[in-house]
Copies of this chain bind each other. A is one copy, B any other.
Amino acid sequence: MSEIPLRVGELAARAGVTVRALHHYEEVGLLSPSRTAAGHRRYDAADVERLQQITSLRALGLGLDGVRAALDAPDFDPAAVVERHRAALDAEAARLGALAARLDALGRLLRQRALTGAPVDPDAFLTLTKAMTDVETHYTPEQLQQLADRREALGADAIRAVEAEWPRLFEALGKEMDAGTDPAAPAVQRLVDRWDELVGMFTGGDPGIRRSLGTAVEANRDGMSQMMGLDPDRMQALFAYAQDARDAREG
């Protein structure tokens, strides 16, 4: 525990910061050590303590301005600082969460295409990505939040199960359609019921979200078919067939 003032390198090593950072703190007027005659910096005990405070506040994620405010302002409300900063953190976390959601969705789509053997070349990737961001524009921020909540509530396993089921469902329904089965037939009805059930898991039964989903599909058939790994025309036909089945059910 030497009491003699420290030189930059020594202080840097002890405090776990770089020499450059110490220089920088001095440049911005955060920490101003005394100098020797030759101009070498000397950090005394007070400087060391101030540096510790600086690093502590920095560890909270405060910017150097915030640190200066906390250290130099005589009137400053710690609780308010913590709260404001916490709010900023939350906002940032939300932003990251949104990005993560997008990436996850994209990852799901890529996995799906891998499952169905669809090509995943760069072009498809770009189309897919664009389709995804397009779709987002059809939901309000609140709805997107609801969707995220819904996914979290369902859990990753359930989502993966649904992902795996979709292509099979499409294929099965496509076979019935190709075979010319009556949309009112029980086999078709079961498939379409399951379809609606899966969609229901996704929408959480919210009619607003359902409507938005509808308009999103309407507005971007090509993108949606990309997302489903189907040919646009075939998707169109499948949707119509499923709608016939629903009409037959109700009427």
Which A residues are closer than 8 A to B by beta carbons? 52-53, 55-57, 59-61, 70-71, 73-74, 76, 78-79, 82-83, 85-86, 89-90, 92-93, 96-97, 99-100, 102-104, 106-107, 110-111, 114, 120, 122, 124-126, 129-130, 132-133
A84 to B131, CA, bound (A): 21
A125 interface neighbour in B78, B86, B122, Cβ under 8 Å: B78
- Given the interface pairs A60-B99, A78-B122, A102-B60, the reply to whether A107 lies near B86 with Cβ below 8 Å is yes
> Could you say which residues of chain B place their CB within 8 Å of the CB of A102?
59-61
Secondary structure of the A contact surface, majority rule? helix
Q: From residue A56, how far is it (CB to closest CB) to chain B in Å?
A: 4
A125 to B5, CA, bound (A): 26
Whether the pair A122, B76 counts as a contact (CB closer than 8 A) is yes
> Could you say which residues of chain B place their CB within 8 Å of the CB of A82?
103, 106-107, 110
- Subset of 16 A-B contacts with CB under 8 Å: A52-B130, A56-B129, A57-B126, A70-B125, A74-B122, A78-B110, A78-B124, A78-B125, A79-B107, A79-B110, A79-B111, A82-B106, A86-B103, A89-B96, A89-B99, A90-B100
